[in-house]
Amino acid sequence: MATKALAKTLGLISNPLLQRQNHPKKKIQIFQYLIVLDFEATCWEDKQKQPQPGEIIEFPAVLLDCNTGKIEETFHHYVMPTECTVLSEFCRNLTGIAQETVNKSDPLSAVMKLFSDWIKSISTSRDIVVNPSSENPGKYHATFVTWSDWDLGTQLLYECKRKSVFRASHFNAWIDLRLSYRKYYKSKPQGLNGALEERGMLFVGREHSGIDDAKNTARLVYKMICDGHCFRVTKTIQGKQVISVKPGAISKPISKPVSTVKTTITPPLCKCGVGSVRKQTLNGGPHHGRFYFTCRNKSCNFYTWESVVVELNKEVNGG
């Protein structure tokens, strides 16, 4: 088995997925630059006992030149969590981030300001405009890329809302690379590493290191460009919020599925990418009778009150 794996690594055995794919020439891209993001957040091995919603603890971004495939600029800061300040052992082992690192780091509000300054710097030095609302003659267009919608559509969005941290409007549009990959290659790989392997590439660095994940995501982006894919924005928030909610800091209620109640609200997605279902609290407590959304995956701890989703839906639609 080890010999076969080595042979594949050395290119002595071809990847059948690669054989089935055509490799047309690169197409002209809509975006001359792409900013690849990959947050790391606080996490716990036992999600049922998670004391707080996740908080960003690593904020990395790389600026990819879509013409050359070169990473031109890098932003990388660790972030101090303020709601649950002690990292779990599981989180430290998974991300490689030490407690001392986040203790001496800035909180999210300060890091967001640093990132804003970085965006202004690269915009000035390279004539870049990020997610423009109209044509900007003489400027290079750029947008964000994440492996899924979780980074910008859930984690950053609702952590900023929860902590009253200013979030710039350029975060309202991005490319979901996982979605783009699945549609282009007609394949559903097991995570970023699986996608790299399908393309005959090896992950460089440490998995779940935010900065290494961002750099490897950028490598996969350029591979897709070389294979002929033209990247387009896959997610746009038409307002200040998007319906994709992170769990609140409350105990998960005893409930049963409710399938007979009709609702026009789009069920939010969680980090695992599974659509949620609507349920009702029936535990006789103070929240008895309230509706909420929870993940279909029983091992996932995602949930949010329906009233929160309704409120955010009104903000999106200007109502």
Q: Mind telling me the catalytic residues?
A: 40, 208
CA distances from 94 to 3, 44, 111, 145, 252 (A): 29, 10, 22, 23, 25
Alpha carbon 284 to its chain's center: 37
> Would you tell me how many other CB atoms lie within 10 Å of the CB of residue 265?
14
Nearest to 163 by CA among 95, 101, 118, 112: 112
Residue type present at position 274:
V
**DSSP result, 105-135:** SEEHHHHHHHHHHHHHHHHHHHTEEES-SS-
- Scanning 21-139, the segments in alpha helix (DSSP H) are 89-95, 99-103, 108-126
Spatial neighbors of 16 by CB under 8 A, at least 6 apart, are: none
Cα radius of gyration rounded to whole Å, the chain: 21
What tokens were used for 210?
Answer: 């935010």
In what helix (H) or strand (E) does residue 308 lie, and over which residues does it extend? helix 306-316
The token duo for 148 is 């899924």
What element of type H or E holds 234?
Answer: none
Do 133 and 224 contact (CB within 8 A), yes or no? no
